[in-house]
Chains A and B, each alone.
Chain A
Amino acid sequence: MTAQSQDDRQRVHVFGPHGSSEGWLRECYNYRTVVRFLARRDLIIRYRHTAIGIGWVICKPVLAMAIFTIVFGRIAHMPAHGVPYPVLVLTGMIPWQFFSSVVNDCSISLANNLNLVTKVWLPRILLPSSTVILNLTDAMINVLLLLCLLAWYHVAPSVHMLLLPLVFLPVVLISLGCGLFCSTMMVLFQDVKNIIPVALQFGLLASPVAYTLAGAPNAWSQLLWLNPLAPCIEWVRWSVLNGMAAPSLERSLIALTEGVLIFLFGVWFFRNQDARLADAL
């Protein structure tokens, strides 16, 4: 036995109504293997039958792209700022799809892993958090789809695309923050499951997925900029497509601040309600 594990065997931890003496970050770290295998489980289930798995993943953005292209591009003639309209939509769809899937997956994660909440103890925040990994994989597949679409339309991707992982980081923070909040609310209140789809529907329209904010400055778009996802989506467009205007620094900083606050609020809220979860489920 190593000195480290000898030390662990002597370690005393105390827990009571308000959590544990261990410090929750340390506990999450101790259970890091769980995240790995939960994510692996989800990946295996989705991609074991590869063709069907990938089919489902690209199905949603492709359908959304088709609908938006017909409605907004062909019927309403929204401006596309020099890129094919489907490309404009799909670039917006990738961060949006990630956000809405994370929120959905998080909100059902506790009920889906019921036994991991009521039959065993582990840092429960890891259950919703591990859904991010699967959704990042899906987003990567969608980026490949986007590259195919760009090739189809003979549009060269921008070199900024190398910055895409960095640009995506605030999207992850916002999504996980909202996801943690929803996962808790879902357990505590029965009717939240009816609210989430409506809120997501609204969010899709309030985010620049089917349109772009960068080219249309007017009073209402000022309001839409307050949506923290808006600058994120515009940054994703900037990184993939040539000639797209990047959001201004102040808007980006506001969105980044909002994103960090949403993430911290989500974590705080989950931890605050953690003790009630097993009793409520």
Chain B
Amino acid sequence: MPFDLPENVTIRVSNISKEYRRVITGRQHHSLRDEIVRSLTTLPWKRKHLYERFSSLSDISFEVRRGERLGIIGPNGAGKSTLLKILCRITAPSSGSVAMRGKVTSILEVGTGFHPELSGRENVYLNGAILGMTLSEINARFGEVLAFADINQFIDDPVKHYSSGMYVRLAFSVAAHLDPDIMIVDEVLAVGDVQFRQKCMTRMRDITSDAKRTIVLVSHDLEAVQEVCSRCLLIQDSRLVFDGEPAEAIRRYRAVSS
């Protein structure tokens, strides 16, 4: 079993590949009927010709050490989002493995699982639980979340009556008060009006500057990557083509895309 991560390594990605397969003929959304017909009319050894395989990521390996802030950039369709989804465990790799040390939180959107009928308080608890917090952890941080979101008297009103600003403030606030060892973020999270955006950025800086925390940031925003990250991966045509200084990664990315 590959449990032998060195003490200072928090993420090890080993030979990750991801292949999707699609049916060549017929409808893309397959139905049970099609499947049954196919399995009755096609000989087993010919079935693989019905599918076309395409690779979205091939053979990616890297390690991230504790306290590193890793950026992942690349053109659209290069496999960046697939890598992000694999790191978050949303989708499984076709081969290879990922090892992580400690508590992991991934934030692809703020307010995952928020329900309009529930009150702000109920949504904070639901969202916190979805992000992997236990009841006592949510209880312990509820005050901070509430203070940061700054919606005091509305906390027990249904979220559907919130303004969109209040909604994202509350949603961001939960995400900003997690205390994971590894944080995987899709785009830099700054939401709401100008004032709150400032607050978001300050908070993000606090989160990312903690030396014990490992950050993985997948982004289109090259300036944000430059500002936040200490190291950067460039993904192109489903391969890892560069691993090193953010400035150099961005230079190469610009060179290819222009």
Contact = CB atoms under 8 A, between A and B. Distances in A.
Nearest to A45: B117
A250 interface: no
Contacts of B122: 37, 40-41, 44
A58 interface: no
Interface string B137-154: 010000000000000000
B42 interface: no
B51 to A, nearest CB: 14
Nearest to B21: A279
Given A11-B102, A41-B126, A278-B91, A119 B97 contact: no
Contacts of B96: 16-17
A93 to B, nearest CB: 28
B126 A37 contact: yes
**B interface: dominant SS:** loop
B1 interface: yes
A16 to B, nearest CB: 4
B112 A119 contact: yes
Given A14-B3, A14-B99, A113 B92 contact: no
B158 to A, nearest CB: 9
B46 interface: no
A195 B94 CA distance: 31
Interface of A: 8-21, 30-34, 36-38, 40-41, 44-45, 48, 113, 115-122, 185, 189-192, 195, 275, 278-279
9 contacts: A16-B92, A17-B95, A41-B126, A45-B118, A116-B130, A117-B90, A121-B88, A191-B33, A279-B20
Interface stretch (B24-32, B67-75, B226-234): B24-32
B35 A189 contact: yes
B1 A33 contact: no
A120 B108 contact: yes
B31 A9 contact: no
Contacts of B29: 190
Contact of B130 (A8, A15, A32, A120): A120
The 8 closest A-B pairs by CB, nearest first: A16-B97, A121-B89, A275-B92, A33-B129, A191-B31, A189-B32, A37-B126, A14-B99
Contact of B92 (A9, A17, A37, A40): A17
Interface string B76-91: 0000000001001111
B176 to A, nearest CB: 16
A76 B20 CA distance: 57
A30 B132 contact: yes
A98 to B, nearest CB: 24
B88 A120 contact: yes
B98 A115 contact: no
B173 interface: no
Interface of B: 1-3, 5, 20, 29-33, 35, 85, 88-103, 106, 108-109, 112-113, 115, 117-118, 122, 125-126, 128-135, 138, 181
Contacts of A19: 92
A122 B95 contact: no
A122 to B, nearest CB: 6
A40 B135 CA distance: 13
B113 A15 contact: no
A11 B94 CA distance: 24
A120 B90 contact: yes
B94 A115 contact: no
Nearest to B116: A45
Given A44-B118, A116-B112, A189 B30 contact: yes
A267 B129 CA distance: 23
B35 A275 contact: no
B97 A113 contact: no
A9 B90 contact: no
Contact of A14 (B1, B113, B130): B1
Nearest to A122: B130
Given A11-B102, A33-B135, A45-B117, 5 more contacts: A15-B98, A30-B132, A120-B112, A120-B130, A190-B29
Contact of B132 (A31, A44, A116, A117): A31
A113 B113 contact: yes
Given A37-B125, A122-B130, A10 B102 contact: yes
Contact of B115 (A12, A20, A41): A41
Contact of B97 (A9, A15, A37, A121): A15
A30 B112 CA distance: 19
Nearest to B95: A17
Given A10-B102, A16-B97, A189-B31, A115 B109 contact: yes
Given A14-B1, A14-B97, A190 B106 contact: no
Given A17-B92, A116-B113, A121-B106, A9 B181 contact: yes
